[in-house]
Structure 1
Amino acid sequence: MSVPQIMLIVLALAFAAWYLITSLAPEAAPYAQITAGVIGSRYTGDCLIVRDETPFDQEAVSSVEYLAEEGSYVSPGTDICNVYSSGFSTRELETLQDFRDQIKEYQVKLLNAEINTDPQMEKLEAEVLTRAREVRELIGGARGNMNNQEALLAAAIRARQSRLKEKYSGDQRMTRLYDDEQSQLQRIASWTKKSVALKEGLVSFYSDGYEYDLTITNYDKFSPAQVRAMINGQKPASSNDISSKGKTTIYRVVRDGHWVVLMLIKDSNWNPVEGAIYELKLENFKDTMVQAQVLSFTRTGGELEVRLDVQSKVQPVLYIRTCSGVLGDNVTSLTVPTKAIYTQDNMPGVVVVDGEYPFFIPVNVMDEKDGMVYISPIQQGTLYEGQTVKLF
């Protein structure tokens, strides 16, 4: 075999190999998924939460009857709880219930005797039975307003009781039972103080003792060392005086929409910019992300204390006093491959593939590094981790 023939065979084999490789090898995927990324400067540290809250306490507390729901919104005049002072016993309530049971039993006895002889009482009894039947029908699935129906039933029962009182006003046993009930109510009232809301906010019956001396008006007076002590569990001085004075904290009312974070930054070389807004991530059982503005800062004893103002709902930190935190220009962002960026009308963006209809989402390109682009959607909420985007 001649040399030219050998060369032709080699070239043919090389072409065949190239064809097989290019035709059978899988093409690069034309799509990618949006992933979460981190960009910008980040500063980690320990956080102390300061809420705009007012605690309410009382001396010689025996027990508390809660009327408002934990964490609910209250306004001035809202009933919050009944506070029973020392000397009160649940036996007093049991005695009251015993008197009421006797009244009910005697009323039933009188009622059974009157239904067949008193036309008015017979009519009132029929009204009660009718309303009770309608309530049972609603419970069984009939259509109607349960609140209205229960109100009608209660009114019918009151009318029947009023008729019994009127007709048997001279009955000595009935009079004695009513007198016993009223005397017991007055006895209980002597130990009872109803507490009502004086301001609007969220009510909580849980307190940690910091509320008295760590407030929205004095948080800037604490040094980094004092903040560190509170983070480590040392309560402010006046908070320790409450129990020693025989007082018990009953509840607190917390203003919504505004709170402060005292953050001890581990990177003490950083110089915060007062008035600058950063993203703050509070790490707890459930992480909370908010926008925080630098109010002021203090650096002493090797620790940097940054005071941050947060204009956000207080519910996520209603029960948190201390936690870890991450402060940064952009603690989290979204990332896509460089090839996912597409320009339309001189505006960069990504093409999201959702079913058969891809659509363009404009983005802000914040940074590009190692083949990945850090982006944020111009319209918040239009992009999220896990979405599929087209590559170009």
Structure 2
Amino acid sequence: MAVKRRPPARRARRINPKFYVFLGIVAAAVIAVVFFITNTNTALVEQGEIMFERALPVVVVRDEQVVSAQNYGKPNYLVQEGERVEADADVAEVYKGGYNDKVITELLEIQAKIEEYQENLISTDEQLLSYNSQIAQKAADMRQIVNGEMEGDVVTAEGELKSLMAQKQQYLRDTVTADATLNDFYSKETELQGRVNEWKEAVKAPEAGVVSFYFDGAETLLNADNISTITSADVDEILNGGADEGRNTSTDDAAEKPLFRLVNNYQWFLVTQSDTEIPEFAQGNVFSIAFDDYLDKPYSGTVVGTVKEEDGYIYALEITDDIGQLLNARRTDAKAFAKFEGMKVPEKAIQEQDGVTGVTVVAGNDKTFVPVNVRIIKDGSAIIEPAEANSILTVNQHVEV
């Protein structure tokens, strides 16, 4: 009887442990992809503020005009340096071409004789002694200012001295009773004064403003009328102490000479140059301004112009406060301060898409790119504002970072 053989039993196959490692890697990769697709790092849009401060070397540009007169000798200023005058006010007296120095000298001599004679008649008068003391002191102050031994303005001191002398002369004429000798002096003075008056011409202010008798030669180029055409080269020349003598403020040296500046003291500008962009100096932004050399008065300046040049940027800030001590300043150092308030986000939330700056708003699984204007970036944070009306961007939303 034949015996039926059983087929040999199959041996169980053992799976290589490396297969499980491979599956684990694949599973981890799938989980990671799903995580990054469904989970985005976000930050909350907050209401916040960032303080801005920047030191700036600046050029002062004024709304001013140079008033000239026909070729003249030493002028007689009728107002003081820094004095505000109204339109058509007499600012100075000049002598027209052809005047005779000898006649003017004779007039001054007879006036000196008149004063000496008057003083001798009332030499012990207390008011006269007071005038003489004040005049002597003012003359001494003026000498010290000229010699650099005392701070002050020479033109202002000269005006004050002239004012005291005029007051004294008027007091003597009102107080001293004229005798025959004095009347003869008066007659001679009147005759000479009449001849001098034929040459004398008053120069008036064409409009209201503050008067200054100082020039730096850049009044025409660096003027409010030219604020939009000032270049980096112009600014650098002034900031680096470049000479301005080549810039003539008169149209014809032989015919006219500058006599005084008339300044609109309630509108002037600061112009600064930067090799890199200053985003905070966007049009219309307002800054507190402090000047290193004029710390007694703070100012407020508004950005009114930005020009991008090949190698840098030019910025202009308008100031509408009284110019005060900066009446004759051309270059100085300033600090600009501002507090930027608004929507605050991390700097890394700001993105670029097709050349447009914005942030990506995240709501659930939806993402929306929203264009924004960046007002300031500092220390890893930024203050932004929607670039478009009816933007969906609001405080307490989440943006991608």
- Where do 1:202-221 residues align within 5 Å? 202-221=210-229
What is the CA distance between 1:53 and its match in structure 2? 1.7
> TM-score w.r.t. structure 2 length?
0.52
User: Where do 4+ consecutive residues of structure 1 move more than 6 Å?
Assistant: 101-108, 136-139, 147-153
Q: State how far apart, in whole Å, the 2-side matches of 1:133 and 1:195 are.
A: 37
The offset of 1:298, in angstroms, is 1.0
Q: Deviations over 1:241-300 (max 9, x none)?
A: 546455321111222222111121354353632111112233336576321111120121
For the pair 1:322 / 2:331, whether they are aligned, the reply is yes
Alpha-carbon distance in 1 for matches of 2:309, 2:260: 36
User: How far apart are 1:182 and its partner, in Å?
Assistant: 3.8
Give the aligned CA root-mean-square deviation in angstroms: 4.4
* Structure 2 residue 74 is matched with structure 1 residue 57: no
- Identical-pair percentage: 19
What is the DSSP-based 3-state SS (H/G/I as helix, E as strand, rest coil) of the residue aligned with 2:259?
strand
Corresponding position: 1:41 with 2:52: yes
Tell me how far apart the structure 2 counterparts of residues 209 and 97 of structure 1 sit (CA, whole Å).
34
Q: Which position in structure 2 is the counterpart of 1:197?
A: 205
Does the C-alpha gap of structure 1 residues 300 and 290 become closer, same or farther in structure 2, counting only changes over 3 Å?
A: same
State the secondary structure of the residue aligned to 1:198.
coil
Aligned mates of 1:272, 1:312 — CA distance in 2: 20
Question: Partner amino acid for 1:225?
Answer: A
- Residue 313 of structure 1 aligns to a residue whose secondary structure is coil
CA contact (8 A) 1:44 1:265 kept: no
Distance across 2 between alignment mates of 1:224 and 1:329: 25
- Matched pairs, number: 258
Larger radius of gyration: 2
In 2, the alpha carbon distance for the partners of 1:80 and 1:320 equals 22
For 2:86, the aligned partner's letter is S
Cα distance, 1:89–1:326 mapped onto 2, change above 3 Å = farther
Counterpart-to-counterpart distance in 2, 1:96 and 1:89: 11
Q: TM-score, normalised by structure 1?
A: 0.53
Contact 1:135 1:150 in 2 (8 A): no
The one-character-per-residue Cα deviations of 1:202-235 (angstroms, maximum 9, x if unpaired) are: 2111111222333222211223333334444365
- 1:53·1:215 contact (CA, 8 Å) conserved in 2? yes
Letter in 2 for 1:226: D
- Offset of 1:78 from its aligned partner? 3.3
**Is the partner of 1:318 in helix, strand or coil?**
helix
Q: Mark the runs of 5 or more structure 1 residues left unpaired by the alignment.
A: 1-38, 109-127, 140-146, 169-173, 332-368, 370-392
Match status 1:228 vs 2:239: no
**Do structure 1's residue 261 and structure 2's residue 265 form an aligned pair?**
no
Report 1:1-392 matches (<5 A): 40-85=51-96, 88=99, 91-100=102-111, 135=127, 154-155=173-174, 157=176, 160-161=177-178, 174=184, 180-232=188-240, 233=242, 235=244, 239=248, 242=251, 244-268=253-277, 270=279, 272-284=281-293, 286=295, 289-329=298-338
Say which SS state the counterpart of residue 217 (structure 1) adopts.
helix
Aligned partners of 1:240, 1:89: CA distance in 2, in Å?
28
The verdict on how the C-alpha distance between 1:329 and 1:88 changes in structure 2, with shifts beyond 3 A counting, is same
| Contact 1:257–1:313 (Cα < 8 Å) also in 2 | yes
